[in-house]
């Protein structure tokens, strides 16, 4: 992942997404670009055209927070895009970058005990969406990922490389695009994560969809939402999920899934819980 290209392509792609009408600018004559011109972004951000051109060439070295905030307003960035812009600027600093501690790859026993005490499906992942641990119901819910031929278990690897994913995720494309946006955000926060770089390289080589959506430079926050799954045992489920940071385990999060009380999905989730709780009779 090239920092200069990432910055240049991100700014250019965000500029292309904003029309003059959205920015409150008059439209006169025929335009050669779908979005804003560079000089229009510079005017909206209150910087010179030469300075903005330098930024869009990928040089964010020394840029101030106030200029970044002005750019975020001019380009109408959402919260995830704004955070990504600041992350790109932070990693563009010419000083020796601070590297994060390596992400833990194994669960502390206390975290596993918390998982096991929960009645809702729960999974622990790192920021590059490796599945590191789960409780019994979480493992059963995401059995297609844990049992996938694409190992080690990873949400993005399963989604893009295992044909079973298009059956498991009711809205496969939305799920896939959200994952790409999450990985883009993480690449901005921590460009020195060798595991993330390797994962992006693997997916880029093996999936045309991933290559296309990665090049779009869209970013996403992945903290809460709804998952629609087509489970091989209990059928379709619509589950709300919430993602919680584990502060003592840098980079790790716990995702917890719940169903609407009284819904068909709650019945299916209860059926799955009964199914995993039923002991398998030994073969004779």
Maximum mean pLDDT: which of 17-26, 34-43, 162-171: 162-171
Shared domain for 165 and 242, answered yes or no, is yes
- Residues 60 and 11: their CA atoms lie apart, in Å, by 11
- Tell me: the pLDDT tens digits for 162-182? 999 999 999 999 999 999 999
Determine the average pLDDT of the residues in 86-98.
Answer: 73
Determine the average pLDDT of the residues in 254-270.
Answer: 97
Shared domain for 166 and 132, answered yes or no, is yes
Domains: count for the chain: 2
Examine residue 234 and state whether it is found in any structural domain, yes or no. Answer: yes
Examine residue 197 and state whether it is found in any structural domain, yes or no. Answer: yes
Q: pTM of the prediction?
A: 0.88
142: domain CATH number is: 3.30.450.180
What does the pLDDT read at residue 273?
95
More confident residue, 6 or 108: 6
Examine residue 212 and state whether it is found in any structural domain, yes or no. Answer: yes
Domain end marker among 42, 57, 91 = 91
Shared domain for 69 and 190, answered yes or no, is no
Domain end marker among 91, 120, 148 = 91
Shared domain for 40 and 159, answered yes or no, is no
pLDDT band at 254 (very low <50, low <70, confident <90, very high): very high
Domain end marker among 91, 123, 151 = 91
Q: 76-80, 92-96, 131-135, 248-252: lowest mean pLDDT where?
A: 92-96
- Note whether 218 and 177 are within 8 A (CB): yes
Q: For residue 137, with 0-12 CB atoms within 10 Å meaning exposed, 13-18 middle and 19 or more buried, which class applies? A: buried
Shared domain for 185 and 254, answered yes or no, is yes
Shared domain for 159 and 243, answered yes or no, is yes
Shared domain for 265 and 179, answered yes or no, is yes
- Please give the share of the chain, as a percent, with pLDDT higher than 90: 76
Q: In the predicted model, is pLDDT for residue 89 greater than 80?
A: yes
- Note whether 98 and 87 are within 8 A (CB): no
What does the pLDDT read at residue 96?
45
Q: Residue 168 has which token pair?
A: 């498991």
- Residues 54 and 42: their CA atoms lie apart, in Å, by 11
Q: In the predicted model, is pLDDT for residue 283 greater than 80?
A: no
Q: Which domain holds residue 151?
A: 109-277
What does the pLDDT read at residue 34?
76
pLDDT band at 187 (very low <50, low <70, confident <90, very high): very high
Shared domain for 117 and 258, answered yes or no, is yes
Shared domain for 190 and 71, answered yes or no, is no
Shared domain for 135 and 191, answered yes or no, is yes
Determine the average pLDDT of the residues in 150-159.
Answer: 96
Selection from 231, 242, 240 nearest residue 271 by Cα? 231
Examine residue 284 and state whether it is found in any structural domain, yes or no. Answer: no
Shared domain for 204 and 256, answered yes or no, is yes
34: domain CATH number is: 1.10.260.40
Angle, helices 3-16 vs 49-56, to 10°: value is: 120
Q: What angle do CA 173, 176, 180 make, to 5 degrees?
A: 135
What does the pLDDT read at residue 33?
76
What does the pLDDT read at residue 214?
97
Examine residue 283 and state whether it is found in any structural domain, yes or no. Answer: no
Q: 10-14, 84-88, 200-204, 248-252: lowest mean pLDDT where?
A: 248-252
- Please give the share of the chain, as a percent, with pLDDT higher than 70: 93
Examine residue 265 and state whether it is found in any structural domain, yes or no. Answer: yes
Examine residue 100 and state whether it is found in any structural domain, yes or no. Answer: no
- What are the start-end ranges of the E strands in the chain? 122-126, 131-134, 224-231, 235-245, 252-258
What does the pLDDT read at residue 281?
52
Shared domain for 87 and 113, answered yes or no, is no
Q: 32-36, 144-148, 187-191, 204-208: lowest mean pLDDT where?
A: 32-36
Q: In the predicted model, is pLDDT for residue 117 greater than 50?
A: yes
Examine residue 10 and state whether it is found in any structural domain, yes or no. Answer: yes
Q: Helix, strand, or coil here: 76?
A: coil
């Amino acid at each position: 992942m090239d920092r200069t290209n990432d910055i240049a392509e991100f700014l250019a792609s965000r500029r292309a997404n904003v029309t003059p009408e959205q920015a409150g600018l008059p439209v006169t004559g025929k335009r050669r670009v779908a979005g804003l011109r560079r000089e229009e972004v510079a005017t909206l951000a209150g910087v010179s055209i030469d300075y903005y051109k330098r930024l869009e060439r990928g040089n964010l070295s020394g840029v101030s927070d106030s200029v970044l905030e002005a750019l975020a307003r001019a380009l109408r960035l959402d919260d995830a895009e704004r955070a990504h812009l600041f992350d790109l600027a932070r990693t563009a600093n010419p000083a020796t970058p601070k590297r994060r501690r390596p992400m833990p790859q194994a669960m502390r026993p206390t975290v596993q005990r918390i998982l096991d005490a929960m009645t809702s499906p729960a999974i622990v992942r790192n920021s590059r969406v490796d599945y590191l641990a789960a409780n019994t119901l979480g493992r059963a819910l995401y059995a297609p990922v844990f049992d996938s031929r694409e190992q080690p278990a990873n949400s993005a690897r399963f989604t893009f490389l295992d044909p079973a994913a298009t059956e498991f995720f009711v809205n496969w494309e939305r799920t896939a695009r959200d994952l790409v946006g999450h990985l883009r955000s993480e690449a901005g926060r921590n460009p020195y994560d060798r595991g993330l770089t390797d994962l992006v390289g693997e997916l880029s080589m093996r999936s045309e969809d991933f290559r296309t959506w990665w090049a779009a430079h869209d970013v996403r926050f992945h903290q809460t939402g709804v998952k629609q799954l087509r489970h091989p045992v209990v059928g379709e489920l619509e589950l709300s999920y919430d993602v919680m940071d584990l502060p003592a385990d840098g980079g790790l999060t716990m995702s917890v899934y719940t169903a609407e009380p009284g819904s068909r999905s709650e019945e299916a989730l209860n059926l799955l819980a009964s199914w995993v709780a039923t002991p398998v009779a030994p073969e004779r």
